Structure 1
Amino acid sequence: MSATGLSRPRIVRAALDLIDRDGIDGLSMRRLGAELGVDPKAVYYYLPNKAALFDGVVEALYAEMRLDEIGAAGWRAELTEFATRLRDVLRRHPRAVLVFATRPGPVSAYAAGADRALARLREAGFAPRAALTMISCVRGLTVGLTIAEVVEPAGAGDTPVPQSLAAFPALAAAVAGGYDADEQFQAGLAAVLDGFAPGSFDNEETKWTSR
């Protein structure tokens, strides 16, 4: 840590706190410097630009998931635990979800966990390419459903125009029970995992085979 008390982890934590409070648009080097009580230029010594700062935020979100604590309990249980931890962290930081969804983050943030997961999936009978596809699908499903759940829609402050579903009886009946985010997540994850099985990936064609 420098004489000013700055460090990369402290800066990233302050950036995430700002995003949590004021959203992505509320984060600037000037505001970050004020939050830390330093000249904004001091931040550039640790993070050269705003893109690097966003990647640091992604790294912090991965660290909060504690993916290294996921035990070897079978491939399905491990992917379920990964998805659950990912969703829990993103729901705690709803204004940072789009940063996570659109920034790759540093490889060091996820490489160790991904390597362990890929090794375990290979032990379970999945080819390396299939295993990577599985992890990507589970991540994409989880992030997508979380975006739908917690990210404010464009024009959120405007009064919505009332709409009637009277002309669409099937749709009206389907939505009558309301929206249950947990149910959608659990059902979607189960459907994705049910579609995976050792041998369902054609290594020569490099695509999933229909069953």
Structure 2
Amino acid sequence: MPPRRSLTRERVVQAAIQVADRGGVEAMTMRRVAQHLGVEAMSLYHHVPNKDAILDGAVDAVFAAIELPDAGNDDWREAIRARAVSARTVLSRHSWALGLMDSRRNPGKATLRHHDAVLGVLRRAGFSLPMAVHAVSLIDSYIGGFVLQESNLPASTRKDVEQVAGDLLEHLPPDEFPYLTEVIADHALRPGYDHTSEFAYGLDLILDGLEARRK
């Protein structure tokens, strides 16, 4: 039998993330995290004082996984777009974190570093302080809202979309719902349609609007 790995704060936090990925933030209890690690719950308290500390650590780890905007990139749109795409990818894996990311009273260094880097890109690009704050709020609300909506969709693959849309179209009276019928038949079911591309389109609209108000 291989020797048991020693327990550390990092292992506790990573275990908590894995538990939440499977069962949501409600599953992230001291008991379940301990079960995941194969230890007694009391042993966790040698590394984290309470559940709040685990939540703080988990949120900070999620922020650490998101790509920081490139401070050396002179194109602020490109830097913010890359960060937004990374945030969407990470949060799609950890959608339970959406309701926690702005609620922690003891943000970790990765969280603080992330926010500072995003604000830095915008301020160096010429955004006033109020506009930089508006931009962060708008972009993050868009990312969070898109991930939340995407995580609740009944279809995740092209095959799923075709099945769901086809079933809906079959029972949709076109004279009663002409515009929905049009969207499904002439848009969603057309070859090459990819609902995941909507993220990039919406993000570009936001960046266009921010650029117009940058000065």
TM-score above 0.5, yes or no: yes
* Cα distance in 1 between the residues matched to 2:153 and 2:41: 29
- Determine helix, strand or coil for the equivalent of 1:45: coil
What RMSD in Å do the two structures reach over aligned CA positions?
A: 2.9
Could you tell me how far 1:70 is from its partner in structure 2?
6.3
Identify unmatched segments of 5+ residues in structure 2: 155-163
* Cα distance in 2 between the residues matched to 1:11 and 1:165: 54
Q: What's the counterpart of residue 186 of structure 1?
A: 200
Q: What's the counterpart of residue 182 of structure 2?
A: 173
8 A Cα contact 1:79 1:135, kept in partner: no
* Cα distance in 1 between the residues matched to 2:208 and 2:69: 25
Map 1:19-58; keep pairs closer than 5 Å: 19-58=20-59
Identify unmatched segments of 5+ residues in structure 1: 154-159, 202-211
Could you tell me how far 1:170 is from its partner in structure 2?
1.2
8 A Cα contact 1:125 1:198, kept in partner: no
Q: Deviations over 1:94-146 (max 9, x none)?
A: xx313233342415222223223323322221111211221221111111111
* Cα distance in 2 between the residues matched to 1:55 and 1:181: 33
**Which residue type is aligned with residue 34 of structure 1?**
Q
* Cα distance in 2 between the residues matched to 1:182 and 1:199: 28
Map 1:57-96; keep pairs closer than 5 Å: 57-67=58-68, 71-91=72-92, 93=93, 96=94
Bigger mean CA offset, 98-107 vs 123-132: 98-107
From 92, 99, 104, the equivalent of 2:97 is 99
- Determine helix, strand or coil for the equivalent of 2:211: coil
Could you tell me how far 1:38 is from its partner in structure 2?
2.1
- Determine helix, strand or coil for the equivalent of 2:6: coil
Q: Provide TM-score, normalisation by structure 2.
A: 0.75
- Determine helix, strand or coil for the equivalent of 1:72: coil
**Which residue type is aligned with residue 99 of structure 1?**
A
Q: What's the counterpart of residue 207 of structure 1?
A: none
Q: What's the counterpart of residue 164 of structure 1?
A: 172
* Cα distance in 2 between the residues matched to 1:165 and 1:15: 48
Change (3 A) 1:152 1:15: farther
Matched residue count: 190
8 A Cα contact 1:97 1:151, kept in partner: no
8 A Cα contact 1:98 1:147, kept in partner: no
Q: What's the counterpart of residue 150 of structure 2?
A: 149
Change (3 A) 1:40 1:30: same
* Cα distance in 1 between the residues matched to 2:108 and 2:34: 27
Q: What's the counterpart of residue 10 of structure 1?
A: 11
Q: Deviations over 1:51-98 (max 9, x none)?
A: 33222221111111232666524111111011000011122x2xx313
**Which residue type is aligned with residue 12 of structure 1?**
V
Could you tell me how far 1:195 is from its partner in structure 2?
0.5
8 A Cα contact 2:59 2:101, kept in partner: yes
Q: Provide TM-score, normalisation by structure 1.
A: 0.76
